[in-house]
Amino acid sequence: MTYTNQLSSNPRGSEQRGTDQRGTEQPDTYRLGHRPLRRLGYGAMQLAGPGVFGPPKDRAAALAVLREALANGVNHIDTSDFYGPHITNEIIREALHPYADDLVIVTKIGARRGADGAWLLAMSRDELIKAVHDNLRNLGLERLDVVNLRAMFGVHGPAEGSLEEPLTVLAELQQQGLVRHIGLSNVTPTQIAQGRTICDIACVQNFYNLAHRHDDALIDELAREGIAYVPFFPLGGFTPLQSTVLSDVAQRLGATPMQVALAWLLQRSPNILLIPGTSSLAHLRENLAAGQLILSSEDLLQLARLAV
Ligand SMILES: NC(=O)c1ccc[n+]([C@@H]2O[C@H](COP(=O)([O-])OP(=O)(O)OC[C@H]3O[C@@H](n4cnc5c(N)ncnc54)[C@H](OP(=O)(O)O)[C@@H]3O)[C@@H](O)[C@H]2O)c1
């Protein structure tokens, strides 16, 4: 098959790219907060140095990746001020400020970095307020479009615990006009339900991909509620997905395994917005072209064997 790098333009949010896994038409965009976003966005975490700590080895390349993403139609960038820390946001600002009117930058708070790069809890009132102001300053914004509260009860996966206090602080910052929309990350269905009693929840960002499907039921529930689901580690994270099944399907389609992994997510549910991360221009172009790839029911059946 052939690909175009340019994402299809979709001014009315009505263009269709194919059918989902139940055979229903799926749109090119999905609403996050007040705006329809193209379903293929970009995750900026890989733009910091090794271990998401310190500067990248090639800052010019990082700037080029961001500019190329926007040139190819991306209007959704995921970031955090704890990437670097600060560095990823500074690179976004240098590359893209003043921002395009339709660009939505989603950030997250709730963690901070130790001097050795450790990921530490930062959910006290003062830490959350400081994090919002750090993001505003480093991104060069007066208001943040979307802020995800990143739960840290479990670093690698969701764990129960009340988010009432930190979410109340974030809702106050929203009322002050510093934050437009609030999302949750690394959370359980119970925490989402609790969160929705405190403020509107615009999106949920959890670990999910072709081989890591603990959130299957949650995704369907959020789709019914009209809430965006944004999987982190869509390609498998620091160790991208590898499997013979995935490679076989990719080879049959004349695509790459990473493109199949992204196309599978796009077909999984219309409320999924993608933020694959890369520090490479070639990988960025490859990932964005996955929007053109349609998987057949036979492909989907084969890929279902990867589910955990
Ligand atoms: N909420 C949270 O707790 C949380 C946690 C983690 C991440 N996130 C967000 O989610 C975004 C995505 O996650 P992620 O970047 O960690 O993981 P990912 O998108 O699953 O995978 C990124 C990895 O895949 C490689 N890669 C990307 N495209 C590729 C391609 N076409 N072929 C081969 N390798 C490819 C990248 O290396 P190269 O740089 O060499 O391409 C990088 O090692 C992040 O950028 C971040 O914004 C959120």
Least confident of 90-99, 152-161, 244-253, 259-268: 152-161
Report the CATH architecture of 17-306: Alpha-Beta Barrel (3.20)
The closest alpha carbon to 79, from 28, 29, 134, belongs to 134
> How do strand 76-78 and strand 42-43 relate by DSSP bridges?
parallel
Interhelix angle 164-175/189-196, nearest 10 degrees: 40
Which ligand 1 atom minimizes the distance to the CA of 230?
10
Alpha-carbon Rg of the chain, whole angstroms? 18
Which ligand 1 atom minimizes the distance to the CA of 279?
39
* 207 Cα to the center of ligand 1, angstroms: 11
Q: Whose CA is nearest to atom 17 of ligand 1?
A: 237
Give the model confidence (pLDDT) of 138-168 as tens digits: 999 999 999 999 999 987 799 999 999 999 9
Q: Are 299 and 205 in contact (CB under 8 A)?
A: no
Q: Whose CA is nearest to atom 44 of ligand 1?
A: 43
Residue ranges covered by each domain of the chain = 17-306
Give the model confidence (pLDDT) of 55-104 as tens digits: 999 999 999 999 999 999 999 999 999 999 999 999 999 999 999 999 99
pLDDT for residue 10 is more than 50: no
Stated as kind and residue range, the H or E segment containing 264 is helix 257-268
User: Residue length, the chain?
Assistant: 308
> How high is the pLDDT of residue 5?
32
> How high is the pLDDT of residue 156?
77
Residues 6+ apart with CB under 8 A from 301: none
The closest alpha carbon to 95, from 128, 127, 121, 62, belongs to 62
**How high is the mean pLDDT of the chain?**
92
Interhelix angle 189-196/216-225, nearest 10 degrees: 20
**What six digits make up the tokens of 118?**
């450790």
Q: Whose CA is nearest to atom 38 of ligand 1?
A: 278
pLDDT for residue 267 is more than 50: yes
- Which residues are bridge partners to 40 per DSSP? 274
* 235 Cα to the center of ligand 1, angstroms: 6
pTM: 0.94
- Which residues are bridge partners to 277 per DSSP? 43
Ligand 1 pocket mutation pick from 66, 119, 121, 235 by most atoms within 8 angstroms of CB? 235
Cβ < 6 Å from ligand 1: which residues?
A: 43-46, 78, 108, 150, 185-186, 205, 232-238, 240, 258, 275-280, 283, 286-287
> How high is the pLDDT of residue 124?
98
Among residues of the chain, what percentage have pLDDT more than 90? 89
Which ligand 1 atom minimizes the distance to the CA of 238?
43
Q: List, by residue number, the catalytic residues.
A: 83
pLDDT, mean of residues 263-291: 98
Q: Whose CA is nearest to atom 15 of ligand 1?
A: 277
Q: Are 139 and 103 in contact (CB under 8 A)?
A: no
Q: What's the burial of 9, exposed, middle or buried (CB within 10 Å: 0-12/13-18/19+)? A: exposed
Q: Tokens 């490479």: give the residue.
A: 280
Which ligand 1 atom minimizes the distance to the CA of 234?
20
Give the model confidence (pLDDT) of 102-138 as tens digits: 999 999 999 999 999 999 999 999 999 999 999 999 9
